[in-house]
A = this chain, B = another copy of it.
Amino acid sequence: MSTLIFGHKNPDTDSICSAISLTYLKNKLGIDAKACALGTPKKEALFALNYFGVESPCVINEAKGNDIILVDHNELIQTVDDIKEANLIEIVDHHKVEISTDVPISIRVMPVGCTCTIVYNLFKENNVEIPKHIAGLLLSAILSDTLLFKSPTTTEMDIKACEELENLAEVNKEEYAMEMFKAGTSLDEYTISEIVNMDFKEFDMAGKKVGIGQVFTLDIDSILSKKDEFLEFINNTDHDMLVLAITDIIKEGSYLLYKADDNIISEAFNVKAHQGVFAEGVVSRKKQLVPNLTNMVK
Contacts and interface: CB of A to CB of B under 8 A. Distances in A.
B98 A109 contact: no
B100 A98 contact: yes
Interface in A86-112: 94-111
Interface of A: 94-111, 121, 124-125
Contacts of A108: 107-109
B109 A106 contact: yes
Contacts of A124: 125
B111 A105 contact: yes
B105 A109 contact: yes
B100 A97 contact: yes
A152 to B, nearest CB: 13
A106 B96 contact: no
A188 to B, nearest CB: 35
Nearest to A153: B104
B104 A110 contact: yes
**Residue with the highest number of chain B CB atoms closer than 10 Å, among A94, A102, A105:** A105
A109 B89 CA distance: 11
6 contacts: A96-B101, A99-B99, A105-B109, A105-B111, A107-B110, A125-B125
Contacts of A110: 104, 106-107
Contact of A104 (B101, B105, B106, B111): B111
A94 B98 contact: no
B107 A96 contact: no
B96 A103 contact: yes
Contacts of A103: 96, 111
Contacts of A121: 125
A99 B108 CA distance: 13
Contacts of A94: 104
A54 to B, nearest CB: 27
A202 to B, nearest CB: 39
